[in-house]
Structure 1
């Protein structure tokens, strides 16, 4: 399963890495792809929790705008 989200405020590779690292800590996550230009984050895995993704994004220092 792939879920898409939009994250605000990411501007660099360090931002991308921070978001990827936090989301990869969520149980069941199998992969994360971040597009800095659009802010889109694609999360691959089983039973991905939107609440946990939002929390991980916040832990990385960013805001989850919406699910794309």
Structure 2
């Protein structure tokens, strides 16, 4: 059963920003999909099981942004 979790990421201004966030989060084991809306900062992550928020935060930080 898959899980969907919404996050808010601050600092994104363009599709390149979104691609960076999408790429980093996609590397977390178990992630099956990442949808990013730049305008609102909303990031929807679909995964095989619930994710550790610290792992998502670390991935977002690696991309150069922060969770709100």
Q: TM-score, normalised by structure 1?
A: 0.92
State the Cα deviation string for residues 14-38 of structure 1 (Å, max 9, x = none): 1000000000000000000001111
Task: Give the number of equivalent residue pairs.
Answer: 65
Structure 2 Cα separation of the partners of residues 47 and 26 of structure 1:
12
Quote the residue 2:45 is aligned against. Answer: 43
Instruction: Tell me which residue corresponds to 1:2.
Output: 4
Secondary structure of the corresponding residue to residue 21 of structure 1: helix
Aligned residue in 2 for 1:56: 59
- Over aligned residues, Cα RMSD in angstroms? 0.6
Gaps of 5+ in 2: none
Please give the secondary structure, in 2, of the residue aligned with 1:26.
coil
If the length of structure 2 is used for normalisation, what is the TM-score?
Answer: 0.92
Q: Which runs of 5+ in 1 are unaligned?
A: none
